[in-house]
Structure 1
Amino acid sequence: MGDGVESFAAMCFYGDVLESVLERVPTADLAATARVSREWLRAVRAAVRRRPRRLPWLVVHLLQGGKRRTAAFDPHSGAWVTVPAARHDTPTPVRLLRGAGGDRVCVLSLSGLTVAGDPLGKDEGVVLKAPGVWRVDPVFAAVGDRVVVLGGACQLALAEGEDASAVEVYDHESGRWTLCGPMPAALRESAAATWLSAAATDQRVYLTDRTTGCASWFDPAKLQWGPTCRLRPDAAVSSWALAPGRAGAEQLVLFGAKHGAEQAANRIIIQAWQVDGDALALSPGAAHDTMPSEMSQRLFPHDEDEEDYEEISPSIGVCGHAAGGYVYNAAEPANGAVLYELRDGEDSAVQRWAWVPCAPAVEAEPLGRVILACSPVGLDELAREPQKRPLGPQP
């Protein structure tokens, strides 16, 4: 805004009226709004406190030609935000680190592990020592003040006695990695990020085999594994994914995708269940929630020319937070995503589903590798004035 517009706005909007207006302003615009004056800064903070923006953003990292482009979806305004290129961009391969406070991109090299300093990946990363075991496809998670790396070890680089499913924990206080026991036997055949779905809370990292539904948890503070259970409430489901549940408890949300029965075999059905994280069992009395069919069909469109469509197993991906998250087609992330908002009560997991169209950057570069992350995004992360790109009415 120019100086004249700022002065006019400051004269016309103040007090409760200003706060009411700011409650309706997209998050991406609040960072600029807060710079109008000290009064507007106070009003922005008051508006956000009075009407918290609970839902996390969907952050998409597009990797192509050794460069990374980032876009973020603001669920409050329903708009994609183009994130300026990072000053300290990291080369590929870029990976994802799950965390209760939000996902981060990271890069593993022989010299160290670099973790992005903010959810949008704009700030210079934090560099840690490299884990002792060289890995090519591990699961990364941030649990409290510790970083956990699980599985994904390079078979050719393993020393005698080392396990491909080895687990290491980095403690920031000591500044070193601790080698822990390997993954439970039920997960060792799938001990890589490609085959595992991970969810991190403030206490643990949870893993489940995407195909079998076998799951367990690891507590990095105690260096201890929990029980191993097979989370399979529906035998027809062929693809599983985990996400954190409601805040304040070790709760999870389990997502499953399957083909419909008989005449509906060319349709994909996606369901969600609440899971007790301690026991790794369905929460007592919790019913499953089903994604609206028009949304699941947009994630997994049926091609009339595919005669063997019923034999193709859908592959779902989920990135989530304590308030909600996003479900997507792991094989075709350019199809878009579905926002889910968690319910506060005990009767079911999901309160609301909403369609999220594909990021414009991904549509423009369909052959690039895409990483989908989920994180709360606040005023501090938006201080560099990213450019908003409204999408207009969606069908």
Structure 2
Amino acid sequence: MVALEMCAGVGVRGHELKHGRQRHEEVGSEVAGDGVASLAEMDLYGDVLESVVERVPAADLAASARVSREWLRAVRAALRRRPRRLPWLVVHLHGRRRRTAAYDPHSGAWVTVQAARHDTPSHVRLVRGAGGDRVCALSLSGLAVSGDPLGKDVCVALKAPGVWRVDPVFAAVGDRVVALGGACQLALGEGEDASVVEVHESGSWTACGPMPAELRESAAATWLSVAATDQRVYLTDRSTGWASWFDPAKQQWGPTCRLRPDATVSTWGLAPGRGGAERLVLFGAKRCGRAEQAKSRVVIQAWEVDGDGLALSRGAAHDTMPGEMSERLFPRDEDGDEEDEEEMSPSIGVCGNAAGGYVYNAADPAIGAVLYELRDGVGSAVERWEWVPCAPSVEAEPLGRFILACSPVGLDELARGQPAACTTAQ
């Protein structure tokens, strides 16, 4: 990622100030149509160039930074003045061909990246982290973690955990990697627990105490929602709402509480909350009764949670996703039986960071997702919701297996990724 702390302001000449507004109006509309190549040929400097750069999608921004030193300075200054806070939605697709699609929330466009040659494993897992999610491949010989969010960098090779796991939770907390649950029952020795926890630090794994009793029946990635911060990894049971946190530096568990502000919610999801403190955002989805179906069949709500005590933040009100968006995540089955449909509980997936994230249909993530942006100040946690359509590469291979992740994506990652296509979402 471009180092924003090294950005320097760009000098502005007197005649540029005089004609800056006029130039901005003339070239502002040409950014999307003509691309970086035509813009590079124009006589742009100073604040005018910065104003143009602010409108350029991230995929083209990586190329524009290589035009000249003047353009590189303009890109850095624009990102410093208006940082692009929201994380990207990254979809790792494993179908006939392995590829990655990344959604840029600033420009509303999907970028498709071909898989690297070294990305050979056909079955991958996810490492949740405060700095962004990474895909990984677990084998008997080791754990290979992608060096960047798009899966293009050479993987970081770690030893395999001491306990063989088939469906574990992996989380990056600071400079440590945590493996929780998902152990293979057949590989366990006498007295070993399937919910065993291991922490990787300084080249080796250390076994820690097992997961709390309330989470042991669901001690696998399939049944748990995970959120990672710089200090802890948080877990909650998707169906019951039981939650706890683990501190790998101290190798100890925190309190275990049942996060259930609404008893009618059938599935839960957890994501990091607003920065500056250990806060979380708890998402819940429920299917409404027939009397409420005129408004929306599925309701998705969000609450802010204090991470230390795992209690709802004092005075915090819940936020509700707009009904038309929850309906798109869980569309009606026109050919199905209405009573059978009512019995099925909606299952949500969540990924995000301290600025925002994405909610999706865990049973059918190819439908699309809903972007949520967290509020900076006081009040309810979610400031806005926005629909994100399915990536074109996923639509082209609906039977492929794909994993949804969330991470900041910088100019360096895009430059290394060599984007194959940039498609504006409709």
| TM-score in same-fold range (> 0.5) | yes
Change (3 A) 1:10 1:193: same
Matched, 1:192 2:225: no
CA distance in 1, matches of 2:243, 2:194: 18
One-letter amino acid of the structure 1 residue matched with residue 64 of structure 2: T
Matched, 1:135 2:168: no
One-letter amino acid of the structure 1 residue matched with residue 419 of structure 2: P
Provide the residue aligned with 1:386 in structure 2: 419
One-letter amino acid of the structure 2 residue matched with residue 383 of structure 1: A
Q: Secondary structure of the residue that 2:106 maps to in structure 1?
A: coil
> After superposition, what is the alpha-carbon deviation per residue over 1:195-232, rounded to whole angstroms, capped at 9, x for unaligned?
00000000000000000000000000000000000000
Matched, 1:209 2:237: yes
Instruction: Extract unaligned runs of 5+ from structure 1.
Output: none
Contact 1:87 1:124 (8 Å CA) reproduced: no
1:362, CA displacement in angstroms?
Answer: 1.0
Number of residue-to-residue matches in the alignment: 387
CA distance in 2, matches of 1:316, 1:357: 16
Provide the residue aligned with 1:259 in structure 2: 287
**Equivalent of residue 395 in structure 2, options 363, 377, 387:** 363
RMSD: 1.5
Superposition TM-score, scaled by structure 1 size:
0.95
CA distance in 1, matches of 2:39, 2:333: 55
> After superposition, what is the alpha-carbon deviation per residue over 1:135-157, rounded to whole angstroms, capped at 9, x for unaligned?
00000000000000000000000
Provide the residue aligned with 2:78 in structure 1: 47
CA distance in 1, matches of 2:172, 2:64: 33
Contact 2:267 2:284 (8 Å CA) reproduced: yes
Matched, 1:158 2:188: yes
Structure ranking higher in helix proportion: 2
1:329, CA displacement in angstroms?
Answer: 0.1
Q: Counterparts in 2 of 1:209-288, with a 5 A limit?
A: 209-265=237-293, 267-288=297-318
Provide the residue aligned with 1:314 in structure 2: 346
Provide the residue aligned with 1:34 in structure 2: 65
Q: Counterparts in 2 of 1:159-178, with a 5 A limit?
A: 159-171=189-201, 174-178=202-206
CA distance in 2, matches of 1:7, 1:342: 36
**Equivalent of residue 374 in structure 1, options 392, 406, 409:** 406
Q: Secondary structure of the residue that 1:382 maps to in structure 2?
A: helix
Contact 1:90 1:107 (8 Å CA) reproduced: no
CA distance in 2, matches of 1:298, 1:21: 35
1:390, CA displacement in angstroms?
Answer: 2.3
CA distance in 1, matches of 2:214, 2:42: 65
Q: Secondary structure of the residue that 1:331 maps to in structure 2?
A: coil
1:6, CA displacement in angstroms?
Answer: 5.7
Superposition TM-score, scaled by structure 2 size:
0.88
1:7, CA displacement in angstroms?
Answer: 9.1
1:368, CA displacement in angstroms?
Answer: 1.1
Instruction: Extract unaligned runs of 5+ from structure 2.
Output: 1-35
Provide the residue aligned with 2:25 in structure 1: none
> After superposition, what is the alpha-carbon deviation per residue over 1:220-270, rounded to whole angstroms, capped at 9, x for unaligned?
000000000000000000000000011121000000000123323471000
Q: Which has the larger radius of gyration?
A: 2
> After superposition, what is the alpha-carbon deviation per residue over 1:33-57, rounded to whole angstroms, capped at 9, x for unaligned?
0111011101101101100000000
One-letter amino acid of the structure 2 residue matched with residue 381 of structure 1: E
CA distance in 2, matches of 1:77, 1:138: 35
CA distance in 1, matches of 2:79, 2:354: 18
CA distance in 1, matches of 2:380, 2:188: 45
Provide the residue aligned with 2:152 in structure 1: 122
Q: Percent identity, aligned pairs only?
A: 80
Matched, 1:64 2:99: no
Following superposition, which runs of at least 4 residues in structure 1 exceed 6 angstroms of deviation? none
